[in-house]
A and B are shown apart, each in its own frame.
Chain A
Amino acid sequence: MIIETNQEEKELETENNDRMVTKMTPRRVKVYILQDNEWKDTGTGHCVGTIIDNVPYMLVNNEVDTNTTLLRSKIGGNIEYQRQEETLIVWKDNQNNDIALSFEESVGCDDICNFLIHIQKTLENNISLVAVRSDHDPLNGSGTGATTAVHEMIAGPVQLPSMDQTQDDIILLESLKILNDNTMFEFLKNETIHWYFNSSYLSNILIPQFNLSEQNHLIKNLFLLSNIIKTLILYNQKEIIDQFIQDEETFSSIIGILEYDTEFPDSKATHRSYLAHSNNPALSLSPTCSSTSSSEPSIYKEIIPLENEHLKIYIKKYFKLQFLKDIVLVRFIDDHNYCLINEMSLDLQAQIIDLLQTDAYLDKIFELYRTPVIENDEDFKLKKKYGIRLLHQFIEMTKNLNSVEKNDFFKFLIQKGFYKIIDYAFNIEKDNNLRILATDSLITIMEHDIFLLSNINVADEISNTNTNSIPDMTLLKLLSNILLNDKSPGLKEQIVQALYTLLQPSNSSITGNNFDYEEEDMHTNGNNEFHGNNQQFVSNPNSIHDEEDIIEYLQLFYKEIAPILFDPLINYKVHSSNGESSNRIEDEQLLIHLIKLITFIITEHDKRLSRNFTLENSILVNISRTINCNENHILQLRLTSIRCFKTIICLDDDYYNRYIISNNLFSPIMGLLVENIGLNNLANSTMQDFFKIILINCKQLDNIEREREATVDGYEDLSKTSLNDNEKRFIHKSNFILLNKYMFENFSNIFEKIDDMPYLTELANYK
């Protein structure tokens, strides 16, 4: 089918054209005709487009003798005009002559092209105008200078799918082909989209055809319809996707059509029935709880009636979009679709989060947790369970929003009683999955701004005491206890993550360590896989906190929490002596977590605070012990302990250094070295890296020393009285020299047996 313009429009257009023609400025141009494979210059003149008796022409009058015509070329048939670069128009006319017009200025060329576009739209639909540009393709070969011609249709006939009410597979196949072809050029694509909405192709043709074909088991048609929908998705238009998810009926038809997939002709997906029946019977709502009307698919769970219709529509749209992306189209969509859908999701997320804050809905949800559980009210308990998931769902939605939006929403949640839900999840709820979700929600808020949580006085929320100025440790205590006592490894992983966040109170404002992953960048910036795509440091305007506050917070942590949290390391002996084999894996994993946390606080916290704590509680002595082979710890744990010491060495701290040497803490490490002499394994590699760290620092030191000798040659006294910066660093770095001497004094009998560790061999030069 060809676009038909009705007669009235045509006449109107013709008038316009006439006006346009009279307006047209003649443009200076050279006329070439192809003869015997050579372009022959037939003269220079002025070119206009003109319409004579409803027949359009291109006319060039000779500039010397204005009465002679250089060119009078009828515009019609299915001539394809090519605009090459800026100033050239080339075509083969209906008599098979190859003609080229070379304009003096590109404006002239523009004029004539505009004329051709008008003619195509009005009088001669079958002509076309194509722009041809040579494009140097940077991806194509290195320096080969490869150029490719890029064709872009500017105007031309547009084929469109049939609107017949009865369609068989031949017509549908033709429609599919047309829709596919029309993606080739932006022009055809735009025309098609325009037509698609004007003709209501989806509701007038596709959906009725689908229903008919499904009723009559016309499997060929069903596959074709599915491919038509997929092709429409490839048009990557927000409006089209938006139409698909606009209401439940349309959506159901779309996913219904997509259940048929030519790639898997023997099986059919079950999207519609999945939407209609939640697949997890354990989670289905009791009848009293569900207030969703019967026409709606039951995948939506409504804990209490959501009255705000706007909000309801947005949330459902969002879910439909996710369902399309994650399930229905997951194998199909390309990066562009993915980008578009993400963009649309983001819009919806922002709108939902915004509306939630002006609606009373969440108030009602939080109200659930202010009412104590009545023992046998299972329905009420279920509502509370769902509340945790609902909250998690909304917090998840904020993940891609900007930090101001997040901040507002999180503040809102906390004011409304977020902690009530957390408290319920940890203290009353038994289901580990829900507790993990609650932790996840907590982490998301913490990662955004820890002080949002630690500044709300939890105790105040719970017991109405007013001690607002003291940092609150309730949360840390709660998490520490879960880590030490809970059995679920998944929950432990989450809790450790939460602790890291809580114990780096400066992270969101000072160190900028808290990075967020921007999904969109990954697609626009795809050629830089490593850096271009992911980490964007999020500096949070709302979390610039006082150094003093942080110190106060940490002091309290070391006083009240750290002794509990690190108890297994502080009272290490007791733990290892009653090591029952059934709990062994758990105990080992817990120790690994704790040693990593120690490594973390040693590097991240105020040095004095963490050092006092670790040294006073013999934590390093005990960590050193875990490396000892007769303690029977798993190798992963022993190596984790060695890494802890590597980190401490790198701190170049006098106190730690003396402590390590005087307590002979490296002895177990050398024991592990002996076990692995000559072996090629991770333990051996870890030890080589250990020596490498010391060597690199000794070497630097050596270089500085040489520099000093070179500069102060013969003036030793003077150099001692005034230390320059390098020398200060020299003295500072001597920790490494001391450490190295200590090692060679105590363990040289071991080192002598080793000949395959180049870094250790080199270290001997600095003993």
Chain B
Amino acid sequence: MLDRVFQQIKAGAHIEEEAVYEVCLRAQELLVTEANIGVVDTPVIICGDLHGQLHDLWTLFENNGDVSDNRYLFLGDFVDRGFYSLESFLLLLLCKLRYPDRVTLLRGNHESRQITRVYGFYDEVLRKYGNSSVWRACCEVFDYLALGAVVDGRIFCVHGGLSPEICELDRARAIDRKQEVPHEGAMCDLLWSDPEQVRGWAVSPRGAGYLFGRSQVSAFLHTNGLDQVARAHQLVMEGYREMFGGRLVTVWSAPNYCYRCGNVAAVMRVPEAGEAEYRVFESAGGPAGGLPVRGGRDYFL
């Protein structure tokens, strides 16, 4: 079954509702066994926001090697904005199901009911299936996604950033993450915060999470014996950007974001030993004629 869905995604074909439910249920079953903050070994390829740009995800895999031979960590925001949120998310779930130890999926702020209702995923599902059940099934899986990971005991990976409630990383274990992303609190901060040149914790213009500065990053890394924070969440035109003397890096993996931002994308390759290397890539475009029209949308007079 999984192989068939994989082939369907590859061919750009419609995926039956029943198959989506099955993938979602199996993904739940797997994700429920994982930690809030998992442990990931090197070498690993760390990837930022994808936002439903399926074609660019394929490029990402082509450039960096098959999941069967490489370890991948995705920092969240798989859905919304692009036109293939569903396929992108399912593809990642299939990879995860096939190679549970080689793929780590973290939750992004867009992996949420409230946000996907507004930024495209919900509408995409309605367009493709005519009803929202598939969307609901995916949202259930969102709730099970991990919140962060530590690579090789050195790099803390998270979608957004730090939280004033989590000084010791171990405290994140006490979050029952199986819920919609809350409006405040540790879980919200991890998915929503941004680094900025500020002192202390500052109000985020996004309306959720915090802005945190260099000293927060230093203190956090020191307390937890880590070297670096790797996160996504913000568009960087050059694909990746280091801040605070390299103690924090933003990785962005959606080239030509929204099909018009003109940015390049990058992944962060962390080897077993030595410096991380960033590999930049450009957009693969997409198929002609916009969305493949599916399920036969008719208009009734």
Contact = CB atoms under 8 A, between A and B. Distances in A.
Interface of A: 142, 259, 261, 263-264, 267-271, 274, 278-280, 282-283, 292, 299-303, 306, 312, 315-316, 319, 326-332, 334, 386, 389-390, 393, 433, 436-437, 440, 489-491, 493-494, 497, 517, 519, 522, 527-535, 585, 589, 634-636, 639, 643, 646, 680-686, 688-692, 756-759
Contact of A301 (B175, B260, B285, B299): B299
Contact of A389 (B35, B287, B300): B300
Chain B, interface size category, equals: 35 or more
Nearest to B24: A489
A263 B176 contact: no
Contacts of A683: 32
Contact of B205 (A527, A643, A757): A527
Q: Which 9 A-B pairs rank lowest in CB-CB distance, beginning with the nearest?
A: A269-B289, A280-B296, A530-B207, A490-B133, A264-B288, A688-B174, A531-B207, A689-B176, A530-B208
A530 B208 CA distance: 6
Given A283-B298, A312-B301, A531-B207, A639 B32 contact: yes
Interface string B101-126: 00000000100001101110000000
26 contacts: A264-B287, A269-B289, A299-B299, A301-B298, A312-B301, A315-B301, A331-B259, A334-B260, A489-B21, A490-B17, A491-B133, A494-B133, A519-B118, A527-B205, A529-B109, A530-B206, A534-B115, A680-B36, A684-B173, A685-B35, A685-B177, A688-B173, A688-B174, A688-B176, A689-B175, A758-B170
Given A493-B136, A534-B114, A685-B173, A386 B300 contact: yes
Interface string B69-87: 0000000000000010000
Given A330-B83, A686-B176, A494 B131 contact: yes
B166 to A, nearest CB: 13
B63 interface: no
A375 B115 CA distance: 47
B68 interface: no
A680 B35 contact: yes
B296 A283 contact: yes
B18 interface: yes
Contact of B18 (A328, A489, A690): A489
Contacts, number: 192
Contacts of B295: 280
Contacts of A267: 287-289
Contacts of B21: 489-490
Interface in B1-46: 17-18, 21, 25, 28-29, 31-39
A758 B173 CA distance: 10
A234 B208 CA distance: 33
Interface string B267-278: 000000000000
B290 interface: yes
Given A299-B298, A685-B173, A686-B178, A330 B133 contact: no
B132 interface: yes
B67 interface: no
A440 B119 CA distance: 21
Nearest to B82: A331
Given A267-B288, A436-B133, A529-B207, A279 B296 contact: yes
